[in-house]
Structure 1
Amino acid sequence: MASQVRLRLLPSAKCLFDEPVQVKVTGLRSRQVVTMKARSTDEKGVVFSSSATYRADGSGEVDLERDPSLSGTYIGVEPMGLLWSMKANIQHKCFFKNKVINPHVVKFSVHEVEGDGRMLAEETNERLLIGDGVSRVPVKKGNFYGVLFTPPGEGPFPAVLDLCTFMSEKRACLLANRGFVVLVVAVYNDKPVNIKEMHLDCFKEAVDFLKQQPKVVNKGVGVISRSKGGDIALSLASFVPGIEAVVWINGCCANVVTPLFYNKRKILSPLLFDLKRVIPTESGASIVKYCMNDPLAEENRATLVPVEKAKAHFLFVASEDDLNWDSKAYMDQIVERLKRHGKENFETVCYPGAGHLLDPPYGPQCPSRVHGIVHKPVLWGGEPRSHAAAEVHLWKKIQEFFISHLSYEATESSTCKL
């Protein structure tokens, strides 16, 4: 019986990380109930897995684009549910994938429900982070370190600075696949506790470096950011010329934790937090959403980023189930400030049910992990199904936003293929 069963990944078992695949099983008995599984191991050796129960149709077929999961790590019709619902076998771990040269490998399999769950068929999905022809070049210039990703072809291409809190190449590489020259730079290149002050100058150097690239379109630079990177992105747009478009994802309206300097003078004081407001949970991970001090309090006015000075266009993105901090409130405060100054250079997107860690789509969601500043496991928020849907929608929105505001017309040749 098992030799008749076939598991297929369409259109191919090899795809880019941010592309969906259609999972189909044929050769089952009519109305047979089976368990579908997915399994992957990240770069730190942590195993992630998911499973779902399906009933075959009268022809002995299961199609995840059509058929509902009856039970498991998700229920209902979720074509990519086996990917985003994968959970770690160890508590408080996020899927770690930063070596973009190597694909994200997922083993899909189908098993009998009866007996010992004998495997009937399996297939390996290679999810590539770097497309054909995309170049990856480490960069150390002046006071910044980063990695530059450049699409194939002569261009010119729009330029994007990816400000990640800690170095991660995944988002930058995936954007380069879509026709952007992307320089990824980490906000923190050392443990945050060791950094007593931050200088906007080094991020300006990164912007200037991007502008000088031969394949970059003669236009301002875009910036994409999340969390702590959000207030750095706002500060760049407010103090540094040449920033044309900013994507701010679950950031803050104020300069957080560390004083910010520019041209050898302090331009923003730090908004601090109080760990006495940490909320413990039975899982061992805490909720830190309410730890940040109020940025609108009189004593914290010097921490607010003067975003009204910026000439850039903004896309503000807030997850309403963000448990790291109150991103929705911070976004509303930024918007109110812009409106008060007569500005209309922004758009907003809110995602009910999504958590803090919005990433490119189709990776395992991270419910909890050790916080880089708090140094203990925290809950990041997000109902898995809603969070996964938000990542799919946002990824497309980001690309459309940058194309619209960086004077670039997307063409077929600018998108990488396998």
Structure 2
Amino acid sequence: MSSQVRLRLLPRARCMFDEPVQVKVAGLRSRQMVTLRARSTDEKGVVFSSSATFRADGSGQIDLERDPSLGGTYTGVEPMGLLWSMRPDTLHKRFQRTKSLNPHMVKISVHDQEKEEGRILAEATNERLLIGDGVIRRTVREGNIRGVLFTPPGEGPFPAVLDLYTSGGGLSEKRASLLARRGFVVLTVALYGNSDMSRNIREIHLDYLEEALEFLKKQYKVGGKGVGVISISKSGDLALSMASYLQGVEAVVWINGCSANTLLPLYYQKSQILPPLMVDLSKLIPTESEAFNGKKVMNDPLAEENEATLIPVERAEGRLLFVASEDDLNWDSTAYVDMMVERLQRHGKDNFETVCYPGAGHYLEPPYGPYCPSSFHAVAGGPVLWGGEARSHAAAEVHLWKKIQEFFRAHLSCDATQTKAKL
């Protein structure tokens, strides 16, 4: 490494996962060409990396907030491009960082592109935390509930959110722990495949989610009588069913879900309340990337034979935020939003708002993680395309993350008298 070249991560090299950093390089020759590279390994051992080529200014400096990448995994001025443009070293792998106690470590390095091509001139490590200072993490094994509870520091009261990040079974703590750092008491729960739970699932019981709601409402730092629910993909229909059939759901964030109950029958109080909308795998479209396009695989929920699968969303009393990616290739999220809006308006309801993101794909997550164009899908039995274009998708995640917090703060009641009553 060169003793003269300095790589700085500002305001500090250690930050939260959902916070941007400013990358600066100094000590280069005037107009020197260099390549910046980022590299990280996820919790499954998959290596993700990115690169971008820059020309230093007349004083030998580069600032990613000012200077465009001239080539690499992204181009143009994108201050966080090195992070969201990271790609796996194996095709069709999705970045896995689900455990809140394990930070996302990103090694960033500066490489010479002129005299000694590829030589490392400087390097630094960006430690991106998933759990903030003072946030309390507690494993929950009470009654039937299997999950993790995150509580912010301070006296409260705080609004409460149930995180249904249930894709693929097991638990994902990332979104829940990051929301807790933003001032929410958050419980993330598993539906299957965690701890002593079954590895497979044939039906879903709303009673389990009702039990989780009641547990969350009883936490002593929680203010208010209601709870928010955040979802994505399949769990979107579960969140809507909770709002439609259960008491105490004040606000729902539905991200790229469906307007019908999908894949598994839904039970409540020992009776089936919604049959499943099923898939037609013959409609999977193969692509040159060897990943399938599954956008048209779900059966039509508006077809007469499938009407019973539609969620009676007009029964929901809480506020609803429908978030759809216009380039979602998992299924037609925007069409499902249109169906729900039409149904709500037909019943004289206006307790909803919609946000649509052009150029975004299916998996909208907390910002600054690697964009995922394709990965394994259990229902398809192979890799599928998730849709979206990396730059647009990354911008959507930044906007949505702020929107989610604003929505919950606006629509979740938070009363200090409620917390005192629990003590």
Q: TM-score, normalised by structure 1?
A: 0.96
For residue 189 of structure 1, report the CA deviation from its aligned partner.
3.2
Which residue number corresponds to residue 386 of structure 2? 380
- Match of residue 284, structure 1, among 275, 284, 290: 290
Say whether 1:214 aligns with 2:215.
Answer: no
Which residue number corresponds to residue 171 of structure 1? 175
For residue 141 of structure 1, report the CA deviation from its aligned partner.
2.1
Which residue number corresponds to residue 154 of structure 1? 155
Are the aligned partners of 2:192 and 2:199 in contact in 1 as well (CA < 8 Å)? no
Counterpart Cα distance in 2 of 1:395 and 1:67: 26
Counterpart Cα distance in 2 of 1:253 and 1:150: 32
1:325-350, Cα deviation, whole Å (9 max, x unpaired): 00000011011100100100011000
For residue 198 of structure 1, report the CA deviation from its aligned partner.
1.1
> Residues 187 and 348 of structure 1: is their aligned pair in 2 closer, same or farther, counting only changes over 3 Å?
farther
Which amino acid in 2 is paired with 1:32? Q
Helix, strand or coil for the counterpart of 1:232? Answer: helix
Are the aligned partners of 1:24 and 1:63 in contact in 2 as well (CA < 8 Å)? yes
Which residue number corresponds to residue 343 of structure 1? 349
Counterpart Cα distance in 1 of 2:214 and 2:380: 33
Q: TM-score, normalised by structure 2?
A: 0.95
1:32-67, Cα deviation, whole Å (9 max, x unpaired): 111011000111111100000001111100000000
For residue 407 of structure 1, report the CA deviation from its aligned partner.
2.9
Q: Give structure 1 stretches of 5+ with no counterpart.
A: 410-418
Which amino acid in 2 is paired with 1:295? P
For residue 408 of structure 1, report the CA deviation from its aligned partner.
4.5
1:252-272, Cα deviation, whole Å (9 max, x unpaired): 000001110101111001000
Are the aligned partners of 1:187 and 1:229 in contact in 2 as well (CA < 8 Å)? no
Helix, strand or coil for the counterpart of 2:409? Answer: helix
Are the aligned partners of 2:28 and 2:56 in contact in 1 as well (CA < 8 Å)? yes
Are the aligned partners of 1:193 and 1:373 in contact in 2 as well (CA < 8 Å)? no
Q: Give structure 2 stretches of 5+ with no counterpart.
A: 416-423
Which residue number corresponds to residue 367 of structure 1? 373
Which residue number corresponds to residue 420 of structure 2? none
For residue 282 of structure 1, report the CA deviation from its aligned partner.
1.4
- Match of residue 306, structure 2, among 296, 300, 306: 300
Say whether 1:327 aligns with 2:336.
Answer: no
Say whether 1:318 aligns with 2:324.
Answer: yes
For residue 164 of structure 1, report the CA deviation from its aligned partner.
1.1
For residue 142 of structure 1, report the CA deviation from its aligned partner.
2.0
Please list, as runs of the form range in 1=range in 2, the aligned pairs for 1:117-196 lying within 5 A after superposition. Answer: 117-165=118-166, 166=169, 167-189=171-193, 194-196=200-202
Which residue number corresponds to residue 113 of structure 1? 113
Counterpart Cα distance in 2 of 1:307 and 1:74: 41
Helix, strand or coil for the counterpart of 1:282? Answer: coil
1:93-138, Cα deviation, whole Å (9 max, x unpaired): 0111122112110001111113431010000100011011111111
Helix, strand or coil for the counterpart of 1:2? Answer: coil
Q: Identity of aligned pairs, percent?
A: 71
Counterpart Cα distance in 1 of 2:276 and 2:359: 30
Divergent runs of 4+, >3 A: 187-194
Which residue number corresponds to residue 29 of structure 2? 29
Are the aligned partners of 1:130 and 1:173 in contact in 2 as well (CA < 8 Å)? yes
Helix, strand or coil for the counterpart of 2:285? Answer: coil
Helix, strand or coil for the counterpart of 2:53? Answer: strand
1:177-201, Cα deviation, whole Å (9 max, x unpaired): 0000000013443799932221000
Which residue number corresponds to residue 62 of structure 1? 62
Which amino acid in 1 is paired with 2:278? L
Counterpart Cα distance in 1 of 2:59 and 2:218: 59
Counterpart Cα distance in 2 of 1:144 and 1:152: 24
Please list, as runs of the form range in 1=range in 2, the aligned pairs for 1:226-305 lying within 5 A after superposition. Answer: 226-305=232-311
Counterpart Cα distance in 1 of 2:210 and 2:378: 24
Which amino acid in 2 is paired with 1:271? L
For residue 382 of structure 1, report the CA deviation from its aligned partner.
1.1
Counterpart Cα distance in 1 of 2:92 and 2:198: 20
Which amino acid in 1 is paired with 2:362? H
Say whether 1:102 aligns with 2:102.
Answer: yes
Please list, as runs of the form range in 1=range in 2, the aligned pairs for 1:83-98 lying within 5 A after superposition. Answer: 83-98=83-98
Helix, strand or coil for the counterpart of 1:7? Answer: strand
1:292-311, Cα deviation, whole Å (9 max, x unpaired): 00000010011000000010
Superposition RMSD in Å: 1.4
Which residue number corresponds to residue 419 of structure 2? none
